[in-house]
Amino acid sequence: MSSVPEREEIDPEYRWDIEDVYASDEEWEAAYESIAGRVDQLREYEGRATDDPETLLQLLELREEIMREVATVAVYARLRSAEDTTNGTYQAMAAKGSSLRSEASSAISYLEPELQELTERDLEAFLEAEPELEAYDHYLRDVLRMKPHTRSAEVEEVLADLSEVTSAPSEIYSMLTNADMSFGTVEGPDGEPVEITQANFTKLQTKPDREFRRTVHETFYDEWADVRNTVGTSLEKAVREHVTSAEIRGYETARAAALDGPNVPTEVYDTLVDTVRDEIDALHRHAELKRSALGVDELRSHDLYMSLTGEEGPDVEYEQAAEWVKEAVEPLGEPYRERMAEGLESRWVDVYENEGKRSGAFSSGTYDTQPFILMNYQDDIASMFTLAHELGHSMHSELAGDAQPWHDASYDIFVAEIASTVNETLLTHHLLETLEDDELRTHVLDEYLERFRSTLFRQTMFADFEHRIHGRIEDDEALTPDVLDELYGGIKREFYEPATLEGGIEREWERIPHFYYDFYVYQYSTGIAAAAAIVDRILEEGEPAADDYRDMLAAGGSDYPLEVVRLAGIDMAEPEPIESAIGVYRSYLDEIETLLDL
């Protein structure tokens, strides 16, 4: 029987070195108590934050000191919680960490309203009188930019206090899907029972036995049918919170509010969706190639994840994957490669799935810790690409942390998804150029096409859906599970027009946690488009282009995302990077069609 091991059964070599942050949970508790006792120091400056430049500098330095410690305490608890979502002790620690963050945010919530009482002339005078404030120039000017959407100190404090409540739909969804739900057990092709999990569902959908795939697909989505009212209500409340928060801050739409934070024009979002829809025939061609490769009359829902090779790819063990990823990033320069290699050696990565572990993958950490990467590695090519992806995030954090002060090191997701996808694209290029095994090369090419499909096209499909469901709430229309099924199913069928979609696919929205993240997913699509253009530049121009790219990573959050990306020579305000990326996708479709004689 397929089973998931307990965490203690996994060799420590394959578990992240979280003890590097706190040696024990008891040490974490002491750190928590210490910093929790200092949060009220932030309130002592309320009403006088801008009395004079020296006072403002003192407050900004105190804020950094406290918030850095709060972040480390909260992240440690979150990581422990992710190790085992069924462990009540760690869930309690994560809740305490989240509450502490909320309390600290509330304690300093007066700062931006008070800063916004300054005029541009006042700010210039402050900067001239206190040279050390120059380090905060971007932050201070950005606060003034947001003045029309910032409320009084009292309202901002209330909103900060409510953050735990407003995040409830996402947290409830996470606990339901990671800790409480099970997704059934089915008979495998060999007659043995196979447990379906969130982590292995996609891999099971790549198994050659078509009847097995159908059974897995229907069993999985039948489980979601049993909780559709709960999940539907959770998502509706999350969307309503996004819309209400935007209204409170004086925005016309939730999307405008979400994109204004990083100062990304809504036209960038529309350009993405419109350009991808204009080029949707490329995705339709991919679907037709799958139908042809499988030798079936109709491509169905349970066929969408299948390889064009018609079979599972060869196993790629973790050690081999790590070696190939290290080789792939050599065009980014030896210091980049060495830093990443050192991270792999020092246990940045929590490698394998264990009982209760959070599904998926992420890169986390703080300004004062090493990166931590959660994986559910499955010994396959897809997992290798995920490793490359998360290492891109981690290296971004490392370079930005080295180059920027704390308040400018944190970068926006818009830029983050470029850093991760550059590593994936370089990995594809490296393997296609160096592997002599034609079978493996074909699987690598197919994997890139799959990741492109699921990143550019699928995430744009999600972005389209997300925009529409927020629009319904903004128009005072119902957003019930039936409406969600209808909206999602309609968009899914437009994107995958050559396929016959069934087996509960209209409920796929239930399994996408990113819909709780407030207009997050479009950045995966813009990220892969920018990454394709950056890699082309690096491979053509060599070190000068690699220098520009490293400058982009090192910039962190010291400027707005579109300006940061322009450091790498790419303008994401235009459709050309998206069109160029889809052009690469089309060329790879040509290549694999020839290789497989489809």
Q: What's the burial of 1, exposed, middle or buried (CB within 10 Å: 0-12/13-18/19+)? A: exposed
**pLDDT at residue 79, as a whole number:** 97
**pLDDT at residue 161, as a whole number:** 81
The Cα–Cα gap between 69 and 36 comes to 10
Say what percent of the chain tops pLDDT 70: 100
**pLDDT at residue 348, as a whole number:** 97
**pLDDT at residue 268, as a whole number:** 94
- Counting Cα atoms < 13 Å in the Cβ hemisphere of 371 gives 27
552 within domain boundaries: no
The Cα–Cα gap between 126 and 357 comes to 49
Pairing mode, if any, of strands 499-500 and 299-300? parallel
In DSSP notation, 169-231 reads HHHHHHHIIIII----EEE-TTSSEEE--TTTHHHHTT-S-HHHHHHHHHHHHHHHHTTHHHH
**pLDDT at residue 513, as a whole number:** 93
Check: CB of residue 446 under 8 Å from CB of residue 592: yes
117 within domain boundaries: yes
Active-site pick, 83, 279, 390, 450? 390
Residue range 359-416, pLDDT digits in tens: 889 999 999 999 999 999 999 998 999 999 999 999 999 999 999 999 999 999 899 9
**pLDDT at residue 1, as a whole number:** 41
Check: CB of residue 499 under 8 Å from CB of residue 311: no
The Cα–Cα gap between 173 and 357 comes to 15
Extract the residue ranges of the chain whose pLDDT is less than 70.
Answer: 1-2
**pLDDT at residue 353, as a whole number:** 95
* Structure-token pair, residue 232: 């539907």
571 within domain boundaries: no
467 within domain boundaries: no
Check: CB of residue 5 under 8 Å from CB of residue 355: yes
528 within domain boundaries: no
DSSP 12: G
* Structure-token pair, residue 472: 């319904």
99 within domain boundaries: yes
Question: Nearest Cα to 434, choosing from 328, 301, 277?
Answer: 328
Residue range 446-500, pLDDT digits in tens: 989 998 999 999 999 999 999 999 999 999 999 999 999 999 999 999 999 999 9
**Reduced to 3 states, what is the DSSP secondary structure of residue 533?**
helix
Question: Nearest Cα to 216, choosing from 531, 2, 401?
Answer: 2
Is residue 319 annotated as a catalytic residue, yes or no?
no
**pLDDT at residue 410, as a whole number:** 95
Question: Nearest Cα to 462, choosing from 527, 518, 522, 530?
Answer: 522
364 within domain boundaries: no
Strands (E), 284-347: 299-300
Check: CB of residue 49 under 8 Å from CB of residue 110: yes
CA distances from 542 to 333, 401, 548, 561, 589 (A): 10, 25, 10, 24, 27
**pLDDT at residue 544, as a whole number:** 96
Helix, strand and coil percent figures for the chain, each rounded to 5: 70, 5, 30
**pLDDT at residue 178, as a whole number:** 85
Domain count, the chain: 1
Residue 444 identity: V
CATH number at residue 29: 1.20.140.70
Domain that holds residue 149: 7-166
574 within domain boundaries: no
Check: CB of residue 407 under 8 Å from CB of residue 340: no
**Reduced to 3 states, what is the DSSP secondary structure of residue 487?**
helix
